Copies of this chain bind each other. A is one copy, B any other.
Amino acid sequence: MLSAAPTKVSAMTTTSPQGRTELLRPDGSPVRVLVVDDELSITELLSMALRYEGWQIRSAGDGTGAVQTAREFRPDAVVLDMMLPDMDGLTVLGRLRRELPDVPVLFLTAKDAVEDRIAGLTAGGDDYVTKPFSLEEVVARLRGLIRRSGAADRRSESVLVVGDLTLDEDSHEVSRGGDNIHLTATEFELLRFLMRNPRRVLSKAQILDRVWSYDFGGQANVVELYISYLRRKIDAGREPMIHTRRGAGYLIKPAAS
């Protein structure tokens, strides 16, 4: 198990029965991700969500544990909180890099943290998200990191397609039937979540849990509101793709059927 661990992850994908596409390693084994954060609720939340992506997860609560776990677990990617109790984020990063020179890292930082320092770090192909984050954001960025860290083959994998609607996760470009559509950040994430689960009813709770940040305490009708925004931009004057299932949720599907 340990010695057999291949370091590179190709951008190989497979399509699950639900129509979700998931990343796999070249040998077909699941992607491995190490989550490092000192707040238990955060590691739990992330572990749950990332496991649901079909990935194998380990977590650590401090820098020392992170390095240890990394050595043994040999993850394909690391989610690393920059604010750890025992050592500075940069120190942890350095030690991780000694163990796993090529592993991509997704940094978690507080909103007000010095952004330029992070910006410097991400130059190496890493990435970061600010707390409080949304799970869609973390998952999307991790997918991107893992995809790019492997044999850089197909770029097409970053494009979601449902009917004549396309969404590029890299360039954040969205178009329907050739027409470019400008979406705000939230609209984009909502649409991405819908498109990653086509023909599947998603409840408002699911959407809220996934697209909005984990500390969102507002009204559940933001979902309705943003669905309404999306419809205006995507379905306006066309055959609708976004459908309401009263009492159940929403779903997206090609206009044809």
The contact string, 1 if C-beta is below 8 Å from chain B, for chain A 179-222, is: 01000110000000000000111010110111000101101100
A17 near B153: Cβ-Cβ < 8 Å: yes
Interface: A166 (CB within 8 A): no
Interface residues on A, range: 35 or more
Contact yes or no, A124 B206, CB < 8 A: no
Known: A49-B123, A119-B208, A119-B214. A171 touches B17 (CB 8 A): no
Q: How far is the CB of A28 from chain B (nearest CB, A)?
A: 12
Q: Report copies per complex.
A: 2
Instruction: Evaluate contact between B172 and A201: CB separation under 8 angstroms.
Output: yes
Give 1 or 0 for each of A216-240: 1 = CB within 8 Å of chain B CB.
1101100000000000000000000
Give A247's nearest chain B residue, CB to CB.
B185
**Max chain B C-beta neighbours (<10 A), residue from A124, A128, A200:** A124
Any chain B CB within 8 A of the CB of A135? yes
Bound state CA distance, A40 and B93, in angstroms? 13
Option from B45, B49, B199, B203 in Cβ contact (under 8 Å) with A171:
B199
Residue A122, interface by CB 8 Å = yes
With known contacts A51-B101, A51-B102, A102-B51, A45–B170 Cβ distance under 8 A: no
B residues in contact with A184, CB < 8 Å: 246-247
Contact with B along A110-124 (1 / 0, CB 8 A): 000011101111111
Given contacts A97-B44, A170-B201, A245-B172, contact A209 B17 (CB under 8 A): no
Q: Which residue of the partner chain B has the closest CB to A40?
A: B94
Q: Bound complex: CA of A19 vs CA of B171, how far in Å? A: 12
A125 and B52 contact, Cβ closer than 8 Å, known pairs A185-B248, A209-B119: yes
Known interface pairs A172-B248, A173-B199; 5 further A-B residue pairs with C-beta atoms within 8 A, sorted by A's residue number: A51-B102, A121-B205, A171-B200, A171-B201, A172-B245
A and B contact pairs by CB, cutoff 8 A, 5 listed: A48-B125, A51-B125, A118-B205, A171-B200, A171-B201
| Complex A-B, nearest 3 residue pairs according to Cβ-Cβ distance, in ascending order | A48-B124, A185-B247, A17-B155
